[in-house]
Amino acid sequence: MAPSFVSIDDTRKIVYDIVSLAIIEKSSQQASTVSDTDKDDQVCLDVLLLHGMAPVGRKCWGLKDHTSNNSLMKNGKLASDNVNTFIEAIRQHSNNKISHVRLIMPDRPGYCDSDAAPAVKEQGCDDGANKGYSYAQFATDMLKVVAHATAGDDDDDDDDGELDSARKRSLIVLGTSSGGPCALAIRNRILSETSSLPNHIFLGTIICSSDCPYSHPRCPQAVTAEDTKDLNGRSIQQYVQDESLKRFRRNSKHGFVTDYLLERTDWGFDLAAPSHVSCDDRANHRYNRVHMYVGGEDDYKSIRLGAQFLRGLIGDDARLQILDEEDHFYASRKPELLAKLLATMTSP
């Protein structure tokens, strides 16, 4: 599966993988189980998957689970058995309401094959992320990725079992760990500027074990204390520089610097839905919803402690669920669980 890339302002590129999966096959056996009315209600779903600080970037969605053989991809190739597991789980949890799923998996800026964010690239591993790149720019970048990845929809041939271009597609944005703030930034952009997503119905946002805004003036002291304990007396800038030089970060150090510094400064956008999103919009489209998930005791303590605080900042649109049996990496390592989280977002 060859990766694709989109140029950003002709100065840098973002590389992504795209996987298109037919959930409801066009066979007589499947057709007999789905009524014409149900077919009209079926969803063609695009999913933007945003990785965390994983040094392997977009390939985190293919890491092998240490406790099982579950993974959606292996070594950059589709793992057929686990793709079948993913497809069956989508069918089961969506009650055959999802006909196609297209997974868009970018290397976020500074990770692996994608170019570094401009400020970090120019300033080096200091506080460069504070001097230029922002979550707002990230939202712009990722919406360009979505537009580029879906640009050929009008050419799809439905008779060949491909995407139905006559039916407007839906989009879910899912971010795990440090991808969580990025997903929320995209949500803010879409809700603030409806024209930013012209070819999709936005179904909502999923964040899995997301970081919270650690520098927020109301961030609980217990959260900031847990977050800063690894500094061991160093400044944030010195810690970031030391960490970025570690060998396992050699292909992702710029991304790590960007993420770490942005998470610990003013995020620059309101986590609550904009005031112009009316009650009717909320009832009819549900696109303001944020489904939050956090692991159990094996998840990072700062993540667990900050979850309720983050939920409060988002407001009534957020729903938080604790996955007691999971660690920090469930979204990227367990295709059946990932399918369940996505299918749940498509329900009323």
pLDDT, residue 170, reads 94
Residue ranges of the chain whose pLDDT lies below 70? 1, 25-40, 62-81, 119-132, 153-167, 276-287
pLDDT tens-digit series, residues 274-330: 876 654 454 444 568 999 999 999 999 999 999 999 999 999 999 999 999 999 999
- DSSP assigned state of 14: E
253 vs 240: CA distance, rounded Å: 9
pTM of the model: 0.88
pLDDT, residue 283, reads 45
pLDDT, residue 32, reads 46
| Helix intervals (H) in 24-178 | 28-31, 36-41, 80-94, 118-123, 135-149
Residues 6+ apart with CB under 8 A from 100: 20, 21, 22, 23, 24, 44, 45, 163, 164
223 vs 70: CA distance, rounded Å: 32
| DSSP letters for 279-338 | HHHHHHH-TT-EEEEEE-TTS-HHHHHHHHHHHHHH-TTEEEEEETT--S-HHHH-HHHH
Q: For the beta carbon of residue 71, count every other beta carbon within 10 angstroms.
A: 21
pLDDT, residue 77, reads 57
113 vs 58: CA distance, rounded Å: 9
pLDDT, residue 120, reads 57
Cβ-contact 150, 134 below 8 angstroms: no
